[in-house]
Amino acid sequence: MKFKFTSLFFVLLSFVLILAGCTATTKSQTSSKDDKTLTISLGPDLMTWDIHNHTTTSTEVVHANVFDYLLMRNQDGEIKPHLAKSWKKTNDTTYEFELEQGVKFHNGEELTAEDVKFTFERVAKDKSLRSHSDYSNIKEVKVLDDLKLQIITSEPDPMLLSRISRQASGILPKDYIKENGWDHFKKNPIGSGPLKFVEWKKDNRVVLEPYDEYFGKKVTDWGKVVFKAIPEDSTRVAELLAGNVDIAANIPPSDWDRIKDSKNSEVVNGPSNRTYLLFLRTQEGWPTADLKVREAIDYAINDKALVENLLSGGGTPSLTRVNPGNLGANEELYGKYNYDVEKAKKLLTEAGFKDGLSIQLAGPSGRYLQDRELLQLIAGMLEKVGIKTDMNILKWGPFVELREQGKFKDGYLIALGASFFDAGQSLDYYSSERAKTINGYSNKEIDRLLNKAATSTNEKERIEMYTRVQEIANKEKPILPLFQLDQFYGLSENVKFQPRIDELIYVPDIEKK
């Protein structure tokens, strides 16, 4: 074979020219970003501007900056006045609210009680809306005058305030939607929030800008806010490192070092209201029906080690799913975990599994931070005490189906959030009614407490009842809470941002450094 170096030279030269022809550009062309632009990437794109017809947190993050809630949670999850400056309970099924005066939608029209009525009655009545079930208890919204209204529920609803300070509670402009129709609204949304809509290029970006006449805390540090859709994790990190994104959400652990090692960005984390749970069957015929086996599994898993190894400490082991900041949290169970290999082995022997046993655990892949890896580590820990674990790791779609149809074997792993910040929502899985189609758990005392608490409007009493439910649940272990999961964000050097427990990114709180 002859090597012709001149030819080689030409080949290489032509390649370089092709590349150079394509790539010759200046730095300024690589980013359309200036100092006053805040660019945020959550991963997925916005689903829709119909706030009642989606259930995704990432979409809510955008909505929360454009629409105002009657009440809003602060950084730590406490409910604070927002559009409603005051409220009171007039009877078991009625709350009365008084709105702030002079709040205007982005088109200049005033926000009144009629808009509140329009918003809540739509979602409460239209059964095909995805958020309907969260609001179906609202019977009527009564307008008393322009700024006063009552929300009347069919049953006493101790969770009402939580209900209306979260997803799908942004107040919509009634007249604007009536005049122009929903199709027009979904393309040109108007709210009363701190940011107003500029454009939405699907699967690409949502552009917002500050609303100068906002009634609350205005956005002054930024001239433009862009939510960029970048579904691929490594690309989102690359955009952050290249300086084109200021806040990148959902950063996987494999990229933390890259970000920390760079000069212009950092990783911040903070608690979320999401907890990893291991559901175990209690129905006759499954080995986990025996409390001792469930306890053995609990003692075999080192929750602390899971958090350290998988999340560099970004999480908190817990024996309950109700985290501090949620109504009814049993703080004695938070921050604790059971781990004792010898005890686990002993419990197994007592349960009659001296030579070990085999179980199958299901879990989703790619849905939650480190979900697949977590199940693998758990299987390893169980192996050490003599429980051979067959893992059934599935994509989210098949996984939810397996769960709903009750086709999983001994148990499954899932990370559930609690958007109401109320034990009434989080502890529902312990009720016989709910558990019937899942792990079959049933405890009369828990049923009684949960039923009573669900309609009790005495907050102190509810807290006591929920605390008690968590105590019983911790003894009987039909569900093993593993740890509260942190959220991880990559930040550029330009911004000051503190993660919120409700996972929102509220732009008025984000400062420019």
Residues of the shown chain interacting with other proteins in the complex, contacts defined by CB under 8 A: 1-5, 7-8, 11, 14, 18, 22-27, 29-32, 47-48, 50, 53, 55, 127-128, 130, 132-133, 186, 201-205, 228-232, 234-235, 238-239, 241-242, 244, 395-397, 400-401, 404, 414, 416-419, 425, 428-429, 434, 437
Closer to other proteins by CB, 11 or 472: give it: 11
Closer to other proteins by CB, 189 or 508: give it: 189
Specify which residues 317 forms β-bridges with.
Answer: 483
Closer to other proteins by CB, 6 or 355: give it: 6
We find the least distance from the C-beta atom of residue 426 to other proteins, in angstroms, to be: 9
Q: What angle do CA 311, 313, 314 make, to 5 degrees?
A: 65
We find the least distance from the C-beta atom of residue 83 to other proteins, in angstroms, to be: 25
Where do the H-state alpha helices sit in 24-100? 57-66
Closer to other proteins by CB, 106 or 228: give it: 228
We find the least distance from the C-beta atom of residue 276 to other proteins, in angstroms, to be: 12
Specify which residues 199 forms β-bridges with.
Answer: 207
Alpha carbons 9 and 116: distance in angstroms, whole number: 73
Positive or negative, the CA dihedral 124, 128, 134, 136 is: positive
Closer to other proteins by CB, 311 or 413: give it: 413
Q: Which residues of 80-98 are buried (b: 16+ CB within 10 A; e: fewer)?
A: eebbbeebeeeeebbbbbb
Contact 193, 211 (CB under 8 A): yes
Closer to other proteins by CB, 391 or 400: give it: 400
We find the least distance from the C-beta atom of residue 77 to other proteins, in angstroms, to be: 18
Closer to other proteins by CB, 80 or 202: give it: 202
We find the least distance from the C-beta atom of residue 257 to other proteins, in angstroms, to be: 15
We find the least distance from the C-beta atom of residue 74 to other proteins, in angstroms, to be: 23
313-to-307, 365, 382 alpha-carbon distances in Å: 5, 21, 21
Closer to other proteins by CB, 411 or 508: give it: 411
Q: Tokens for 435, please give them.
A: 């558990």
We find the least distance from the C-beta atom of residue 70 to other proteins, in angstroms, to be: 22
We find the least distance from the C-beta atom of residue 183 to other proteins, in angstroms, to be: 8
Task: Tell me the three state secondary structure of residue 331.
Answer: helix
Q: Tokens for 169, please give them.
A: 């509670």
Closer to other proteins by CB, 112 or 169: give it: 169
Closer to other proteins by CB, 266 or 350: give it: 266
Alpha carbons 400 and 392: distance in angstroms, whole number: 13
We find the least distance from the C-beta atom of residue 97 to other proteins, in angstroms, to be: 26
Alpha carbons 133 and 131: distance in angstroms, whole number: 6
Where do the H-state alpha helices sit in 136-242? 160-163, 174-187, 233-241
Closer to other proteins by CB, 154 or 458: give it: 154
Instruction: Give the H or E element holding residue 510.
Output: none
HEC string of 8-20?
Answer: HHHHHHHHHHHHH
We find the least distance from the C-beta atom of residue 210 to other proteins, in angstroms, to be: 22
Determine the angle formed by the axes of helices 291-300 and 341-350, rounding to 10 degrees: 160
We find the least distance from the C-beta atom of residue 129 to other proteins, in angstroms, to be: 8
Q: Tokens for 437, please give them.
A: 């189609």
Contact 382, 411 (CB under 8 A): no
Specify which residues 153 forms β-bridges with.
Answer: 138
Positive or negative, the CA dihedral 316, 318, 320, 326 is: negative
CA 149 to chain centre: 30
